[in-house]
A and B are shown apart, each in its own frame.
Chain A
């Protein structure tokens, strides 16, 4: 079955750019949406953004000015860049496959499955 694995530095300095990659194995990255989700220590889940295999993206408005998500279909990978990080960006970052169903313009569904194991990124000097 499809498995996801995050990779990247676990420590980033304030004001620098956080960069993570998610490698998809056991299946193709094509024909799906792929999301990044984060969870600050002891807190809930926050959706960061998604990329469709074709390259189209959508980001959480609260992070949109700092986020870039890209895809490399030849490597079955997608990546996250978050610029100008602060301590508030310290979190476990997860990648996940996203499924979207549209029944009507005002009746939709979205769920995330599977998820990567997550990687803790700490922002500190």
Chain B
């Protein structure tokens, strides 16, 4: 089981805002950078956010990331039907020899 916990699902109507939480501990989120990934149905994950709140080129500013203590949050504003996907957080865990961990994943449904 993952050391990063996400809600299984969130939903909202088109145009609304959703937030996805990623809860961890001091050995992972609390002291390390968080990244977020979008996985559209049947496709590979795509990087949305790195270093807590930075967006790669081409990612719209409707997507935002933040971190507070041992939790991180992905926000999506102006929700679109094309945003319906699974979203995963990821980070480094200093207590693990390999370090790399992903969250449990959250399904975003556009009502």
Please give the residue numbers on chain A whose beta carbons come within 8 Å of chain B beta carbons, in ascending order: 35, 44-47, 49-50, 58-61, 94, 98-99, 101, 106-118
Cβ–Cβ contact A118 & B44, under 8 A: yes
* Chain A, residue nearest B105 (CB): A44
Interface size class of B (residues with CB under 8 A): 20 to 34
From residue A2, how far is it (CB to closest CB) to chain B in Å? Answer: 12
Cβ–Cβ contact A101 & B33, under 8 A: yes
Contact of A58 among B33, B34, B98, B101 (CB under 8 A): B98
A-B contact pairs, 26 of them (CB 8 A): A44-B88, A44-B102, A44-B103, A58-B98, A58-B99, A61-B97, A98-B100, A99-B50, A106-B31, A107-B31, A107-B33, A108-B99, A109-B33, A109-B34, A110-B33, A110-B91, A110-B99, A111-B33, A111-B35, A111-B51, A112-B35, A112-B90, A113-B46, A113-B47, A113-B50, A115-B44
